Structure 1
């Protein structure tokens, strides 16, 4: 089973099964959360909810396995072991590992496709080694847990922009993921009513090279998907540039007053690729 990584990934508390289908209808993939979104006393009930929606055969889940991620608790915790026991009885084989901090931890998830969530100082510093693990398919970074691990109080400044240390972590995780050919997931935008701020941050994620962005509310998914879908004008401009490159027949050429070379053409190719995915 190959996991399909779309641009909008929506977290859904695993103990709220009545939200599963709603989340799936809004986003490209659902992240059933067994970690932070579920109170400690409710974690066992959350696992039961995942199992309950599988039906009597255990192979006909409500949620399509190729579009479903299960966020498990950190390696080394009792809840992690219980999460694995639960997953063994499901068709879900893509997991998000909370607070991933080393490549060795990935060995405990052999047989699963893993999106490693680097959300501590140790995890961010070890992101390159984590990305190199063979069962890792992507990295995500987390802002608030990271600042908590540093002894800080907030990842963002009063104007809503990230603090320098958060921006450093964001870039570090993106570079580590892409250096190893893995997907890169941008962190959630916690100010739910501020859809304009989300749109700006999602647009930056697209331009920076993130393959997707995580969401915490259904209203955010459409905003993220729109950011990742190139406009008709962007597609037309990229197509015209690629046509001009084909006609030029040289590595470097002048187009509309600008020098065009390989990297610029790759940008245009990415726009056309994203447009084809959205079509």
Structure 2
């Protein structure tokens, strides 16, 4: 099994806010996304780029996964952002407004040309109507090792803006698009993170949306405030009951009498080998979360 990296909580931090960048060293988020795009005004983008890259190079973030969201390549800042991010060597570079596999191929060419560190992967924002319509094609870029595509990140606010869909409780209008992107990601073996929840005063609504994303199959949720971290970490982690059930399933299939069986009876229900594989993943995720706990 490919090693699992917990991505339950992915917190956006404005690249222009030095205090926020420093504070991120103490937060319990699995992922810190230093944002050079939406959260940064045009006249401070160069300063933010320098500040973020210096922070990533300096380190001090422990086991947190560090991601730099650049501006789109076609903007005045995109090329400089990408070059600086490659030099800083974060865990990943998040590319916005990805609407075709060709965008990722272009990024891949620059990674190779600029000698990007092997550890630096590419994440893609799925936030346009075209991205939804081409989700499988975009996800298939992961088969090209040069693109280094490792994760989709849903940009639900931009999707709502471009489609004029309303972001209402339950996200009925958004769910078909979320699941389309999720199916594409899973078809090509990459992770996928759910979009942000905008109402910081609605803790119950946030929990409900996290639970919805978890049940849909997302790996975690992108966040806009540190107060959202604890709930996301809790909800996207296996519960104790799920861990105990997974252990029982794995142990049952490891018994000599079950070695050649495709399905067995366990505690009154039929369990197949596919459930054993799911159980192993649950245990691997729980172990990975425990290993990075402070």
Normalising by structure 2, report the TM-score.
0.82
Structure 1 unmatched runs, 5+ = none
- Asked if structure 2 preserves the Cα contact closer than 8 Å seen for 1:13 and 1:38, the reply is yes
Residue 64 of structure 1: how far off its partner (Å): 6.4
What corresponds to 1:72 in structure 2? 70
Alignment of 1:56-135 (within 5 A): 59-63=57-61, 67-92=65-90, 94-110=92-108, 111=111, 113-133=121-141, 134=144, 135=148
Q: Deviations over 1:197-220 (max 9, x none)?
A: 222322333333222221111111
Structure 2 unmatched runs, 5+ = 112-119
- Asked if structure 1 preserves the Cα contact closer than 8 Å seen for 2:170 and 2:209, the reply is no
Mapped pair 1:45 → 2:53: no
Q: Deviations over 1:140-187 (max 9, x none)?
A: 11112012112x152x22xx11032x1111101111111111111111
Residue 100 of structure 1: how far off its partner (Å): 0.6
Normalising by structure 1, report the TM-score.
0.86
Equivalent-residue separation in structure 1 for 2:289 and 2:62 (angstroms):
19
The 1:220–1:98 alpha-carbon spacing in structure 2 relative to 1, beyond 3 Å, is same
Number of residue pairs the alignment of both structures matches: 269
SS at match of 1:192: coil
Equivalent-residue separation in structure 2 for 1:153 and 1:119 (angstroms):
13
Q: Deviations over 1:216-265 (max 9, x none)?
A: 11111111111122232321222123323334512122223322223333
The 1:3–1:88 alpha-carbon spacing in structure 2 relative to 1, beyond 3 Å, is farther
- Asked if structure 2 preserves the Cα contact closer than 8 Å seen for 1:118 and 1:141, the reply is yes
Residue 6 of structure 1: how far off its partner (Å): 2.7
Equivalent-residue separation in structure 2 for 1:42 and 1:190 (angstroms):
24
Moved more, 180-189 or 78-87: 78-87
Alignment of 1:145-224 (within 5 A): 145-150=158-163, 152=164, 154=166, 156-157=167-168, 160-164=169-173, 166-224=174-232
